Amino acid sequence: MPSWSQVLMNFDRNLDHEEIDEFIEHLEVSTRRRLKSLEQEYNTLTEDQFEDPRDLPSYQDHLSEQSIATEAARDLGGQLSIVALYKKVEGKTAKIVKKRLPSSSGKNLSYFKQLCEALPFDIKAVNSFAAFNELRLLNNSIKHGGQVSQELASGFPNWTAGAEIESVGDAYSRLLPGVKAYVFDFVTKVYAHGKP
């Protein structure tokens, strides 16, 4: 039978992200349905439907603008999923570190530098650190202006410095497995180095 400490560690090593996944799924279904509806309406418009046939192009423009707004909502949802995932990792990290490493007392662990200083191991040696670090830098870029930071672009060449952050839904699904592996190993290392 596992010890209570082992049970706690197993619990702490898991990253709960189901509500983020559900949010993304609902948003995707909703935006897809909305875009399909707008496209169908656009494609079936005829001049006969308008009192003045010259109003058709204006209404088509209106429908196009609605499609653009729906795509923007989808992009915003993708950004929110990145911020939510990082917030979960950040919260779990702070909780575990404060609970298991008394030397972290007084440090603001939401600052990466202070987190690194509080750890008795090199955070870059944690499995899948790259996925966590990309998530962290992407989160920072989203929160501080919505443009790709130089640090994000330098560390991860699939991002271009200064570019607008959009269509990051694929980044969430790409990063999630690595971030989960990072949390698992990070917690394991904290437990190994921390108080019983």
Nearest-angstrom CA–CA distance, 179 and 176: 5
More confident residue, 104 or 56: 56
Contact predicate 121/186, CB 8 Å? no
pTM (2 decimals)? 0.89
Q: Please give the share of the chain, as a percent, with pLDDT higher than 90.
A: 71
What average pLDDT is seen over the chain?
91
Report which of 186, 196, 195 is spatially closest to residue 122, judged by C-alpha positions: 186
Contact predicate 78/171, CB 8 Å? yes
Contact predicate 35/65, CB 8 Å? no
More confident residue, 7 or 27: 27
Per DSSP, what are the bridge partners of residue 164?
A: 147
Residue 7 confidence (pLDDT): 78
Residue 145 confidence (pLDDT): 86
Mean pLDDT of 30-43: 95
**2, pLDDT greater than 70:** no
Mean pLDDT of 32-43: 95
Q: How confident is the model at residue 31 (pLDDT cuts 50, 70, 90)?
A: very high
